[in-house]
Chains A and B, each alone.
Chain A
Amino acid sequence: MLSDALISKFDQVIARYPLKRSAIVPLLLFAQDEIGYISDEAIDEIARRVEVRPIEVVEDIGYYSMLHRQPVGKHNFQVCTNVSCQLRGGEEILEHCSQRLGIGHKQTTPDGLFSLEEVECLGACCGAPAMQVNYDFYENLTPERVDRLIAELRANGKP
């Protein structure tokens, strides 16, 4: 069941556009924020509300890299290795995260707490090397900062 808050957000977002289907991508992302991934139910509900066939919603999911059909960890580490980050140790940060979390690219720890992803430029180039954990930016990373962050997330669930 999608929450009432999400359904009311759907209505609010759809009203912004002269064409309802314009809301598909935002609705998918907002649904994912709440559910943790994009469920079959979310696809059907979005399709019904914006008046398209479910397959048209699925087509969008396949295109946009932030959208996923499977649950990811509670804390999704997205490490940038693009040029500005690479030149300042981004690959080493990715490797360090991988070793510490015991998972590789697009994998999730068995306890469901962490996921890891190598991503393209996040727009944090002057704070390289950088990553996002869910929507939060972490910049000027060092292996020590990563270790501290992982420890804090394990302890509190939130840094």
Chain B
Amino acid sequence: MSDYQSYMKGSPLEVKVISARFGVPNPTAIDTYLAHEGYQALAKAIQMGPEAVINEVKNSQLRGRGGAGFNTGLKWSFVPKSTDKPKYVVCNADESEPATCKDRPLMEYDPHQLIEGTAIAGYAIGAHQGYIFIRGEYRYLMDIIDRAIAEAYGRGYLGRNIQGSGFDFDLCTHTGAGAYECGEETALLNSLEGLRGYPRVKPPFPAVVGVYGCPTIVNNVETLCNVPHIVLKGAEWFAGLGTPKNGGTRLFCLSGHINRPGVYELAMGFPLRQMIEDVGGGIPGGRKLKSVIPGGSSCPLLTADEIDVPMDFDSMAKIGSMLGSGGVVMIDEDACMVKVAQRIMKFYAHESCGWCIPCREGTAWLKALLDRLHGGGGLPGDPDTALDASYNILGKSLCPLGDAAAMPTISIVKKFRSEFDDHIRLGKCPFERKAVAVAV
């Protein structure tokens, strides 16, 4: 279990949609869910018909919460209507993007919301089987979801002829066993087929050729959790919560150097500065903010001067970064940015699946280079070499993992170049002296 208090500190600025039921007693029981509008959206969806559900979700401007930000309804509409093949819906609960811990509370505190969202997605695309792919480390969450699924079967919200509607939908969990790459949807599908989690070449996209060669929709946990609310309250209401083309809310996970780390549900487009200062309570110890990772470690980092920005997909793209996965990391003035770059690259070098050369070789070389730089053995040309190597990964790898390694590195080298130069000039890390454990 996670410590509810450390994740759900709450803020008056929150707009609670998908986290509205968090904190109710006995949260995982189906009776609790049914007492709070549970499974009403599934019944409504079945009355509406698949086409209307897809249109509603499309118009709601719900965009993929895993990080890519693609319009969910549009993704569903790519599934071929006339096909003899079975169709599948796969929930991506392989939450592994560094700094992201939002799918965890969604599964822990409201598992039926996810089950209902997945069943509606299945109904919309004409699937009769769903899988919830959960990272192996989240075993206690798989147990929670398994129990909730069993309850839903028991009450006729899963299985054959759901609530007498004629719609059949089976759902089960599937555990991963430790691989960041499996969060990429085609790698996830290979893993679901019992193979190594190597990405597939796109096109064809999973909506046409997915798991077992059949049309498949892969959606993130948070994405699917929004679906019942859209069906019940309508596309217009949902779109109105956010900014143009960015419907709804977002679970933001504030971590790092922040006074009140936690998961907060805020309207899409919430200003980053206010998120840090008012929701997160600012930077500990009166220190100054130096940098922000805005949406998981795959995003280009921001400087403290760049935080006057609405947190939605398009505004973040406009300033050259990404909204990503909702993992927002604050980094204060005493932290070493070379060390941050080094740690991020250590992650990608470890997680690169090795399938394509730019990513496999590039991340390993960059890790060695950044180790050397932070260790004080850097040469004057090293920062430029780091940029050069990053640009030789960017856009050249088979899947987004390569880009995810290159983008933060490029941003750190460019925006914090003087810190790299200081390491080279001094022959050591100028921050080591200040680096103390700040577990507050």
Contacts and interface: CB of A to CB of B under 8 A. Distances in A.
Interface of A: 16, 18-19, 21-26, 28-29, 50, 52, 59-60, 63-67, 81-84, 86-89, 92-93, 120-129, 132, 135-137, 139-142
Interface string B181-203: 00000000001111111000000
B343 A22 contact: no
Interface string B308-335: 0000000000000000000101010001
Given A19-B193, A87-B255, A87-B329, 12 more contacts: A18-B86, A21-B195, A25-B177, A29-B175, A65-B178, A82-B99, A83-B256, A125-B253, A125-B255, A126-B7, A137-B140, A140-B6
B27 interface: no
> Which 10 pairs of residues, A with B, have the shortest CB-CB distance?
A89-B437, A65-B178, A66-B178, A21-B194, A64-B177, A24-B194, A84-B255, A125-B255, A121-B98, A135-B139
Contact of B196 (A19, A22, A59): A59
B438 A87 contact: yes
Contacts, number: 166
A124 B137 CA distance: 11
A133 B147 CA distance: 23
Interface in B82-125: 86, 95-101, 103-104
B439 A127 contact: no
A66 B212 CA distance: 25
Interface in B409-425: none
Contacts of B1: 137
A128 B329 CA distance: 12
Interface in B117-149: 135-140
A125 B99 CA distance: 5
Interface residues of B, number: 63
B3 A125 contact: no
A126 B297 contact: no
Contact of A132 (B137, B191, B256, B257): B137
B95 A123 contact: yes
Contact of B439 (A16, A88, A120, A126): A88
A87 B331 contact: yes
B144 to A, nearest CB: 13
Interface in B222-269: 253-257, 261-263
5 contacts: A82-B99, A123-B96, A124-B104, A125-B101, A125-B327
A81 B350 CA distance: 13
A18 B170 CA distance: 12
A132 B281 CA distance: 28
Contact of B7 (A87, A127, A141): A127
Given A84-B256, A139-B3, A26 B437 contact: no
A92 B6 contact: no
Contact of B140 (A21, A25, A52, A135): A135
A38 B7 CA distance: 35
A24 B136 CA distance: 13
B96 A88 contact: no
Contacts of A126: 6-7, 101, 253-255, 261-263
B347 interface: yes
Contact of A66 (B6, B99, B137, B140): B137
Contacts of B193: 19, 21-22
B176 interface: yes
B197 A63 contact: yes
With most chain A CB atoms within 10 A of its CB, the pick from B97, B177, B261, B438 is: B177
